Structure 1
């Protein structure tokens, strides 16, 4: 036996086995902070901006919807910022100058509320603290949370101008917010009106729809009787109304009915015990609802009779008495007859068919009487800012709708008890229904009539632009269709909201924010033309002061004289002290960020706004209103929305339930890249789930992908790019991989352009695991390990180099930490994958003819591997290299597969024989692949001690234990 027999000689050192320091275990929680520090040291973001200047790149700006600076990040923040980061990074690597300026919403009630809580704990009275001292504490609180959240966002791997974020409380920002407000003042869309707005008695301020969330609430419900006056034989009959807000009954001014509803007169003939109806009572009710209403009064069928129809003409002829009319001690408060008329909003699907109207506490009623010109007759001011009745209201003075803690007050019970006492109640109960709550205090809100400042969205904007005469609503509806929406349903949602929305309530009765910088002429009504001071010189003084001192200048002693003196007589004017709705603040951010900053956008328009779907009624909405009101156009070209994050069972996350997931906990356990990968794998346009098992699955996908990258790194350490093989000189297998790369390049770029990260990752992951790990790598490891300096091996290395360059950059927006690690394994320490672009892919790599032929070859290969698996299962062979099958092909397939050696490599067998013709009986076949049959045979010869193929020539070369190929390689 020769000295180089397998027993005597170790051929492993002669193989080109993978070698790399890239670890299988990522250790992300520990290593990611190191890369963060490295990126900061390299100044990656700033270097990209310099690169853009030199390269003349087209701008791409994602404008950050500002999170609120008042707490640690939750999983929704992580989802939101990660999607934004993927958008910015991918567009940068596709050749754009992709800018991202993080921002924070710093004004408003949540912060003010926190300072008030601190005051209450210390026994301090907020009203006794100078306003600018209070505002300074709010500013300090917000600033502290900005610093905390900034570090938490950076830990997620978010790139951006973190050193110079935008803050709504910066002096320049406050100046611009005031300036943008003044445009509404100067163009005539600002007005003061008294109408019902959603009001928080706990927080004592008006709220916008975007500041309200809906929760189930148990409410009192009552059926109340109004006595008929006039109307012939209907005299003294009683119209019954139903309401879930008994506290509004003292403010009732009318009852309305539906002109198209069938009404009847119902008379009571018998009553059970404990019933508030009496024999002989007659009630007017909608026929569809009469049985239900009388049942609520504990009356059974047979206790009442429908006397006759009641016509619209009869209804038009009657008036009503309030149930408290004439009550002793009422001081005539409710003695006037109530208005009674038809209204479009009345239905006979619930209630009684009649609706009680307190226009001070209901928008539909308010709008009805506004159109009738009767507001002065029906508006009341019975409810104070803290939700108590005015002290001099008979029976109910000082009673509270809500307690200061947001719990049920004593107003509802007092009203119900009084209605029972005067015989005004037919029935009562409780109902559980969806009810608006403040999303800050979580307390219920009410509709309350109060003087507020509004932007009129149906009044022509007098701005002298080309769009002169168009209203804010018309502009907004037009601009919505000039925006690209992802998903498309976002367009319909915002369009419907904009069509139906009322005027914009701009004012809040709080302290921490930008004031409504305007003055009103004393002794004038809001309807008078000169009620509001519109003076460009006054405006200029204000904005100049705000630029250097911030909005605090408005609250300094002598501010009115400072701003008005020498222009108009300050004594003639009142200074408005309300602050702006924070949605106006955030809606104006495009002006002081995109328009005013050097790193903003040249045309002041963002390429993308991206937020949660709730922002259709929030930031998307207010930004559109604000921008079309001042510029006539939308502030964004694309709007991307994501859903909400739910727990693993699909339940909404809640601290009270205990199912919340803190991003930092995931980062500490898995690393930020795993959290980012979870984002990329979800369909973020819908609600998505997260939990331990889901994260484990994400980590498994990550490991598989990491192993793919590790294999490439292990194969490439000695590759010399100067020896790269051109496509035309490559074997067809390598040409096929280049084709697949070219196709995938288009999928990746298109997906990133459409913000479809799930589609991008799925395409890359499938390619990496199916086309590479399970196919190409499996086939070519023999050539990579065992070939000498052959064209085949160089071609494979060339393809691996192309694969590496593309997969690393394509995945960098999703997995910035891991791809940086992959990049640094091959490149110098001063480089970064995040300074790179996606490599350009030559057009001639795409070969659809080759790809179609390859599909045919792979189909035949599946039949061969199926036949081999059958033999492996039967333990006839252990490895496919022990096989030498015969493959029978139809004439058509035989024309495609002509080289048995190449096909043997593809099938990972030592030998293979191809026969054109029908397969013998008993051959292995696949019913889905026609024209192929396989018969099994073991390979003839000896096993090569180096490549493990079984070949006849083993033992005939100078190294007797190896085959000819290996002998030459050694």
Structure 2
């Protein structure tokens, strides 16, 4: 040791503190736009494509978001996940392009333009019939096109701001002419193969929007105030004599369908019972006697036919008296009211041949014909009466069963949900007592209520046995207008699910097989999509609107359509040149050519379901010439779980119909983002989180970190407190990089042979190697929640709280030629290069800032962290059991020190003298090494099982602040610091 130095000297200038310009305060909202602008300036996406040219492909196909509003938090999550997929695949060295797209046709945009028309007091164009004016329709479409393009441009800029790296200058839009041509071409493939048909059957219909809806366009809302009624149909004919004159009782929650009833259905295996009621309540109208006239009351009581298991519940509903308002009968009255006495039991199969008359038979015409009993395997005793009224206009089961028996729909309900003008019951001439027209939309609550016109007329006819407005169930609504929908029979175009496609398989069977061949993340998506495909009806392709791709078919008077490949080719070529408006009456003869007489054909004016548009994007984007870097099929489709009934399904069905397999190999689905309290976000609740505002306040990297931290495969939450927690995570990651940048300031070194590396560094490198493997697995499994958690935990627990903490003394106070310090900084360099790459797909802006801070010359050469590939991490072995034991012991020591620090006995662990159980210390570790690991003054070993702590009696080194036995007085130097200072002084 050199001559004793002045213990009053300030040694701060001899300590090697980290130095960096990388700020602790992120300032992301201010910095990120500039970083994004630089990426655009240097053409980062194009540079990445060039650097990955010729590599193994990973093709992600973007499901098109809808172009009708600002980006919301669901968009932010969805596109962050998509970006993460492509970035991690590119990081692995693959060629993974990201071609973004937008869905541009459809009703929401049309509605918005209609709103603009209404504000201008302008009539929207007539879409069908002799009054249809093509010029007006085309002008309307141009307005829709401009509206969609505006929102495409807005969303594109917002997604760029989120850091999504994609081919933004060359996206696909379903309204582009080339896209519309491909959509038409795909439709023609179905037509030429005979896999389209026009049929009249019930489809989900929105009376408000006046168009058919696909299942994907419907959402279900829980209602608690729906009507439920029991209605008596008098039996007029039956092989069972005792039934004639009795009443077959049906139960329904859609009273508005009674006016189009055409049959009753029974279950062949159900046990039915004919009962007599010994009393009749006031207000129910006529009894069951055949001679009873409408509006009179019979004192003879009723005889009713219902399913035996449901008799009690039927009678209970009848005990609720129906007057001008609904009121419950008293308990005392219930005891003696409507007591059923069994006359006979009947097996359902014995009801064949039974007929009833409609309660409104006195109106004649449609209502005069008796209604048959039909055997239905869908009839159950779960609820109701065990008898189901059949309205083939308004139910899938009804339609199919009635069709088997030659009973067709009557199309009584018009597009706006009202009965036809000429309909005998509730048509245009139906007036109430005040002379006001009662004809309203069938789903209108007053119209459909227990005191509405339908129930009033049934009550007057003596057929209403019960009526209330307290039925709770889930009812379909249009997800656009939020209005109730109905099943309504209309003429539509369908793709058959169960027709042999020529290879012995149906579309349903092909789709089911494709689902079996697809990888699902999470796996539960397989059952969800499979169940939907197995149970779905034929695919309805047509819509009765203006803004969309026309169904380009020529139809003969008998309903068949022309199947001519040359005609179809001319149509496709015209659409590719001019877009959807090429489908015009003015070009009819041109398209048909010399072989067909235009007078023999009608041009279809319906448009395609927008899901068909998006379902065919694989054909244009993956197979076309515009993006040669892509291929078919895609490796991955990624969307929200609602797309099992939307885009996933339409893509699957279209591709299976035209190509025999799915257009994807894997499907990844994410859940929905809820408010922090678990409720659905809505403007009315005021609990929405606007990603644009979050980016203004916190930065895009915070949204990305949130999106990749949640378990996105389930529904997940976001809120102010959650975002604050994400901000804390971000700061820890940022501080890790800040420490690495500072510690590596001016670093040029070589780790040397592995044998020269201290055990602690070997251990940390083994942890890095383990992290590397886990991150690779997380990428392979698309487990980005695990990916982010592993990265954050490694930085927090293994580095900041352990490795950095232990080695800060070495970094600050060892000499420039210290082997330990050089080894430490070499490992820090390895950590830097690995971590900045791992973090780059998550914190896209911050990782770039980190990289450019250390390598500004790379920025000058138009480089970027996002052009780098997965790090090469040394595979280093370490005695993990030994180090796990040491870390456990270190934790025990810290817990034992904390009370003394809290009570201000000591100010830091450096002042602690610690005794640890000898049995807890692994072999080969000295007391000095333990003191270094625990950052204490000294460590001794005891025979007990406890860790004990006392304040050290040693003096503090004036440079490194360690309390060591060789320091003679406070402020003097320890041997190491004395040597380093002497070396520095000599070099000065």
- TM-score class normalised by the smaller sequence: over 0.9
> Post-superposition shift, 1:260?
2.0
1:683 to 2:708 alignment: no
Cα distance in 2, alignment partners of residues 338 and 273 from structure 1: 29
* Match for residue 319 of structure 1 among 344, 351, 355: 355
Aligned to 1:961: 972
Aligned to 2:330: none
Cα distance in 2, alignment partners of residues 348 and 356 from structure 1: 14
Distance 1:404 1:711, change over 3 A: farther
Q: Map 1:502-901 onto structure 2 (within 5 A).
A: 502-522=537-557, 524=558, 526=559, 531-555=560-584, 557-599=585-627, 602-721=630-749, 723-788=750-815, 789-828=817-856, 829=859, 830-843=862-875, 845=876, 847=877, 849-869=878-898, 871-873=900-902, 875-890=904-919, 896-901=923-928
> Post-superposition shift, 1:888?
4.7
Task: Give 5+ residue unaligned stretches, structure 1.
Answer: 463-467, 927-933
> Post-superposition shift, 1:685?
0.6
1:243 to 2:243 alignment: no
> Post-superposition shift, 1:936?
4.8
Distance 1:248 1:425, change over 3 A: same
| Superposed CA offset, 1:343-401 (max 9, x none) | 1111122111110000111001112233x2x34x2421111112121111113114799
Aligned to 2:462: 423
1:222 to 2:229 alignment: yes
Cα distance in 2, alignment partners of residues 945 and 476 from structure 1: 77
| Superposed CA offset, 1:233-261 (max 9, x none) | 22110001111111111211100112222
Distance 1:442 1:869, change over 3 A: closer
Distance 1:405 1:776, change over 3 A: farther
Distance 1:895 1:541, change over 3 A: closer
Aligned to 2:383: 350
TM (norm. structure 1) is: 0.92
Aligned to 1:34: 34
| Superposed CA offset, 1:841-875 (max 9, x none) | 233x2x1x522221122233334444444544554
Distance 1:124 1:953, change over 3 A: same
Cα distance in 1, alignment partners of residues 276 and 629 from structure 2: 72
Task: Give 5+ residue unaligned stretches, structure 2.
Answer: 127-134, 288-297, 321-333, 431-436, 982-988
Q: Is the 2:277–2:341 Cα contact (8 Å) retained in structure 1? A: no
Cα distance in 2, alignment partners of residues 912 and 402 from structure 1: 93
Aligned to 2:986: none
268-277 or 420-429, which deviates more: 268-277
Aligned to 2:495: 455
Q: Is the 2:256–2:443 Cα contact (8 Å) retained in structure 1? A: no
For 1:60, what is the secondary structure of its paired residue? Answer: coil
> Post-superposition shift, 1:516?
1.1
Cα distance in 1, alignment partners of residues 185 and 439 from structure 2: 37
Cα distance in 1, alignment partners of residues 866 and 17 from structure 2: 30
> Post-superposition shift, 1:884?
4.0
Aligned to 1:309: 344
Cα distance in 1, alignment partners of residues 670 and 921 from structure 2: 52
Distance 1:911 1:896, change over 3 A: same
Q: Is the 1:222–1:244 Cα contact (8 Å) retained in structure 2? A: yes
Distance 1:405 1:727, change over 3 A: farther
1:379 to 2:380 alignment: no
Cα distance in 1, alignment partners of residues 716 and 207 from structure 2: 35
* Match for residue 438 of structure 1 among 474, 478, 485: 478
For 1:213, what is the secondary structure of its paired residue? Answer: strand
Distance 1:275 1:568, change over 3 A: closer
> Post-superposition shift, 1:30?
1.1
- Aligned pairs, how many? 927
Cα distance in 1, alignment partners of residues 102 and 38 from structure 2: 26
> Post-superposition shift, 1:593?
0.7
Cα distance in 2, alignment partners of residues 364 and 286 from structure 1: 20
> Post-superposition shift, 1:600?
5.5
Aligned to 1:366: 399
Cα distance in 2, alignment partners of residues 783 and 131 from structure 1: 78
Q: Is the 1:461–1:469 Cα contact (8 Å) retained in structure 2? A: yes
Cα distance in 2, alignment partners of residues 686 and 787 from structure 1: 50
For 1:288, what is the secondary structure of its paired residue? Answer: helix
| Superposed CA offset, 1:275-334 (max 9, x none) | 345542211112222222223222735433323233236522421111111x1xx24221
For 2:168, what is the secondary structure of its paired residue? Answer: coil
Distance 1:271 1:863, change over 3 A: closer
Cα distance in 1, alignment partners of residues 284 and 94 from structure 2: 76
Q: Is the 2:426–2:439 Cα contact (8 Å) retained in structure 1? A: no
Q: Is the 1:73–1:149 Cα contact (8 Å) retained in structure 2? A: yes
Distance 1:359 1:799, change over 3 A: same
> Post-superposition shift, 1:544?
0.8
150-159 or 289-298, which deviates more: 289-298
* Match for residue 98 of structure 2 among 97, 100, 108: 100
> Post-superposition shift, 1:167?
0.1
Cα distance in 2, alignment partners of residues 132 and 409 from structure 1: 39
Aligned to 1:280: 301
Q: Is the 2:78–2:639 Cα contact (8 Å) retained in structure 1? A: yes
Aligned to 2:328: none
Distance 1:149 1:873, change over 3 A: closer
Distance 1:133 1:15, change over 3 A: same
Cα distance in 2, alignment partners of residues 501 and 894 from structure 1: 66
Q: Is the 2:623–2:631 Cα contact (8 Å) retained in structure 1? A: yes
Cα distance in 2, alignment partners of residues 487 and 159 from structure 1: 25
Cα distance in 1, alignment partners of residues 874 and 183 from structure 2: 49
> Post-superposition shift, 1:84?
0.9
Cα distance in 2, alignment partners of residues 863 and 118 from structure 1: 70
Cα distance in 1, alignment partners of residues 106 and 588 from structure 2: 23
Q: Is the 1:505–1:581 Cα contact (8 Å) retained in structure 2? A: yes
Q: Map 1:184-195 onto structure 2 (within 5 A).
A: 184-195=190-201
Cα distance in 2, alignment partners of residues 629 and 314 from structure 1: 44
Q: Is the 2:278–2:341 Cα contact (8 Å) retained in structure 1? A: no
> Post-superposition shift, 1:221?
2.3
For 2:635, what is the secondary structure of its paired residue? Answer: strand
Aligned to 2:6: 5
| Superposed CA offset, 1:160-214 (max 9, x none) | 0011110000000000000011111111211111100001111111110000011
Cα distance in 1, alignment partners of residues 444 and 158 from structure 2: 35
Q: What is the RMSD of the two structures over their aligned residues, measured on CA atoms? A: 2.2
> Post-superposition shift, 1:573?
1.3
Cα distance in 1, alignment partners of residues 770 and 726 from structure 2: 26
Cα distance in 2, alignment partners of residues 816 and 130 from structure 1: 48
| Superposed CA offset, 1:660-694 (max 9, x none) | 11111111111111111111111001111111111
Cα distance in 2, alignment partners of residues 284 and 886 from structure 1: 89
Cα distance in 1, alignment partners of residues 276 and 737 from structure 2: 85
TM (norm. structure 2) is: 0.91
Cα distance in 1, alignment partners of residues 213 and 665 from structure 2: 29
Q: Map 1:35-50 onto structure 2 (within 5 A).
A: 35-50=35-50
> Post-superposition shift, 1:407?
4.9
| Superposed CA offset, 1:596-633 (max 9, x none) | 14535654111111111111111111110011111111
Cα distance in 2, alignment partners of residues 695 and 872 from structure 1: 33
Distance 1:911 1:263, change over 3 A: same
> Post-superposition shift, 1:751?
0.5
